[in-house]
Copies of this chain bind each other. A is one copy, B any other.
Amino acid sequence: MRSGPSRAVKLQPVRTAPAAGGTRKGEETRQRILDAALKVFGTAGLKGATTRQIAEEAGVALPALAYYFGGKDGLYLACAQEIVDRYGRHMLALLSGVRASLKAPMSAASARARLKEVLWALVDLQIANREADIWMSFVLREIAEQGPAFDILFKHLWAPGVDITAELIGRIVGERSTSPAAKIQALLLISSLSAFSIARPIALRYLDWPDTGDARLARIKSAIGAQVERIA
């Protein structure tokens, strides 16, 4: 037991990372922690994940988590924001384009083509891209728990894609405004992708596939395309 200062008197202030103006190296460390946290939270959940595990995965010392993110909870929310950012980088241009074209009348055939575009982009994001396993798992847990990040994810991740899918379905079947039935169909359609994302281990085992490599991915896209063609 070493004699030290009384806990009431701090010799140094509490340090947290600056909002802006940090070092290049610090920014890299921050990103490294985020990547590690996505992985660990995705595997073990908010509660099951330990700060030591995340720190080790990131190759940093434990107090870095508090320094850059304020602690475990802050890091969790930062992960949600990171997911939303990555999703945005992948989907935002396409969704904006489709949204703009929805402002004018659109033929059923055209709506079908655009819907396929959207769904295939989601396939590329969720299924073709193995990194998505990491954040899909995180998202999944947040759905189940409706934890602190649910609102962020609902607004920026789920609602946009479902909205557009529902509207395209409405156009395909000739509706003026998007009906509840089209919305339900949109939810079912987007959720069917989870066969190969969330439930991927089941699908691979069931189909006796080693992975979802190019030829198999093409079959998945073909099957999804067929679903779109069948919408009437």
Residues in A lying within 8 Å of B, measured CB to CB: 42-48, 137, 140-141, 143-146, 150, 154, 158-159, 162, 180-181, 183-185, 187-196, 198-199, 201-203, 205-207, 219-220, 222-224, 226-227, 230-232
- Contact in complex: A154, B202 (CB < 8 Å): yes
B48 touches A201 (CB 8 A): no
Given A144-B140, A192-B192, answer yes or no on A187-B206 (Cβ-Cβ < 8 Å).
yes
Q: Could you say which of B44, B154, B185, B199 contacts A187, with CB atoms under 8 Å apart?
A: B199
Contacts of A191 in B (CB 8 A): 191-195, 198-199
In the assembled complex, how far is the CB of residue A95 from the closest CB belonging to chain B, in whole angstroms?
Answer: 16
A219/B184 contact (C-beta < 8 A), A199-B191, A201-B150, A206-B162 known: yes
Nearest B residue (CB) for A159: B206
